[in-house]
Chain A
């Protein structure tokens, strides 16, 4: 199966800071999805992004499929951004990385 590496594993931010999360994957994929898992376990879809850049409010994502990586940018972080962020390349099924645990402090 596809191997997925996410970095950093943990990230502590002061409210208002910006950050970049990285996802490397081992093989060509049809697409890639970013999720935020909140403290209650719910997975919230952030982006479905095969290539290029997408933005949604303070979040944006860039996937460079030819180089097999994707980046998630969080700008002006808020405490509600805390949680685990997963990337999941899609090769007819999702393969999840280990996640980045983000803690935003007030």
Chain B
């Protein structure tokens, strides 16, 4: 089946540094990918929609300069948390829409970011 591989699974970084999270579609082409954020015991909040070859569309309240999204190919989207602070600590999950011949969306395994 269609798989989205997300790396790293977890990362600890110091305040002020940047962290890059990668999502790769392994056996299909993902024109559109989505990035979510999830706080403990809460639901998933959509941060942005990433389209291959164009600028990402950010949800209201999400700082685009803080969360840089790049979708340079049909199989790779990246989220970079710039100048991370402890309040950016969260669980980040990517998702891709399954295109023709499939149904729904598939999700990466998530990245747990801790900023110290």
Question: A: which residues have CB within 8 A of B?
Answer: 31, 33, 35, 40-43, 45, 48, 86, 90, 93-99
Q: Is B67 an interface residue (CB 8 A)?
A: no
Question: B: which residues have CB within 8 A of A?
Answer: 34, 38, 42-46, 49, 91, 93, 95, 103-107, 109-110, 112
Contact (Cβ within 8 A) A43 B104? no
- A43-B93, A93-B49 given; A33·B43 CB < 8 A: no
Contact (Cβ within 8 A) A86 B44? yes
In the bound assembly, the distance between CA atoms of A31 and B102 in angstroms comes to 13
Contact (Cβ within 8 A) A41 B109? yes
- Chain A residues contacting B112 (CB-CB under 8 Å) are 41
Contact (Cβ within 8 A) A94 B95? yes
- Chain B residues contacting A96 (CB-CB under 8 Å) are 43-45
- Chain A residues contacting B38 (CB-CB under 8 Å) are 41
Q: How far is the CB of B54 from chain A (nearest CB, A)?
A: 16
Contact (Cβ within 8 A) B106 A45? yes
For B102, give the chain A residue with the smallest CB separation.
Answer: A48
Contact (Cβ within 8 A) A99 B43? yes
In the bound assembly, the distance between CA atoms of A97 and B34 in angstroms comes to 17
Contact (Cβ within 8 A) B104 A31? yes
